[in-house]
Amino acid sequence: MPRRGVIRVATCQFPVSGDARRNGRWVRRQMAEAKRERADLVHFSECALSGYPGTDLPSLEGYDWALLRAETEAICALARQNRQWVVLGSSHPLTGRHKPHNALYVIDPTGRVMDRYDKCFCTGSDLNHYSPGDHLVTFTVNGITCGLLICYDVRFPELYREYKRAGVQLMLDSFHNAHGTARGIWADIMPPSLQCRAATNYMWISANNSSAFYQQWPSLLIRPDGLVAARLRRHRVGITVNTVDTTAKMYDAAGANRDRALRGVLHSGRLVKDPRSSNREAL
């Protein structure tokens, strides 16, 4: 393990399918590759193990939950063997007639599922298959506070602000903007949206995506100043392993006033009382 406040993160992408057995093989293969590159934490995309209903498979009706559980347990066993943290996108079944959660499992280096994030903001089509979550998740790796979000959550900056209040330094954002028929708006708007979230909140962001054609944008690692530190190739299997150093000082334009904004003080400096200031109709 490197010095406190520094970890190596593997941001992974592969062509997620509706076959949990096939997806499981990809996950374990990339965990092994991440181990060779000395990654401390391995991050996978939305529904990486289960497949994403509506694109990778028609629905979750009749889904083989026993197979999914067996594949998850095999991944936990490998995490224990490799002494790795793993953030695994999957589907989490509930009881009775309740729809499952679209989830990220946090697997610690002992192979234990130590927490689970359930996608809070589900799209309209998501709600055909999933129940929304109601909580945020943080965990700590070598002194770095990590947070979790899934895909459509990116549209809600309030979530990032809540994580910032919780001291998050590294956000693990898992996406599924793939397995479509053609290039869409996501190809142009997702990377800059993520760069904005990183720079506005001064946090590292590992953002990954299924590489199944058509992959709208490639997996990224973004620095707290908003610059893209690493980028995989679109439609290609791969991992990018990078050092996240939260002790490094980077450009932070909002740094002097972010705490004020978080407290609801929506200006810098000291306000003045002046009739020409209060009269907004005068020249």
Domain boundaries, the chain: 6-249
Q: In what order do the strands lie in the sheet with 85-92?
A: 113-118, 101-107, 85-92, 41-43, 6-13, 238-245
Residue 140 corresponds to which amino acid?
Answer: T
Tell how far CA 61 is from the center of its chain. Answer: 26
Q: Please check the confidence at residue 2 and state whether its pLDDT lies above 80.
A: no
Instruction: Report DSSP state, residue 52.
Output: -
Q: Where are the alpha helices (H) located in the chain, listed in sequence order?
A: 20-36, 65-82, 157-165, 186-201, 258-262, 275-278
- Residue 130: which of 97, 102, 151 has the closest Cα? 102
The answer to whether 190 touches 196, Cβ cutoff 8 Å, is no
CB 185 within 8 Å of CB 217: no
Element (H, E) at 87: strand 85-92
Phi, psi of 148 (to 5 degrees): -130, 135
Residue whose token pair is 């000395």:
38
Q: Domain 6-249 belongs to what topology? A: Nitrilase/N-carbamoyl-D-aminoacid amidohydrolase (3.60.110)
Band of residue 1 on the pLDDT scale cut at 50, 70, 90: low
Q: What is the pLDDT of residue 39?
A: 98
pLDDT of amino acid 181: 87
Amino acid at 98: H
pLDDT at position 154 over 70: yes
Q: What is the DSSP string of 164-199?
A: HHTT--EEEEE----S-SS--THHHHHHHHHHHHHH
Classify the phi-psi angles of 194: left when phi > 0, otherwise alpha if psi is within -120 to 50, otherwise beta.
Answer: alpha
pLDDT tens-digit map of 204-258: 999 999 999 999 999 999 999 999 999 999 999 999 999 999 999 999 999 999 9
How far apart are the C-alpha atoms of 208 and 16, rounded to whole Å?
A: 12
Quick check: 107 and 75 in contact, CB under 8 A? yes
C-alpha distance from residue 187 to each of 94, 134, 157, 200, 255 (Å):
33, 29, 19, 21, 29
Chain-wide mean pLDDT for the chain?
Answer: 97
pTM of the complete model: 0.97
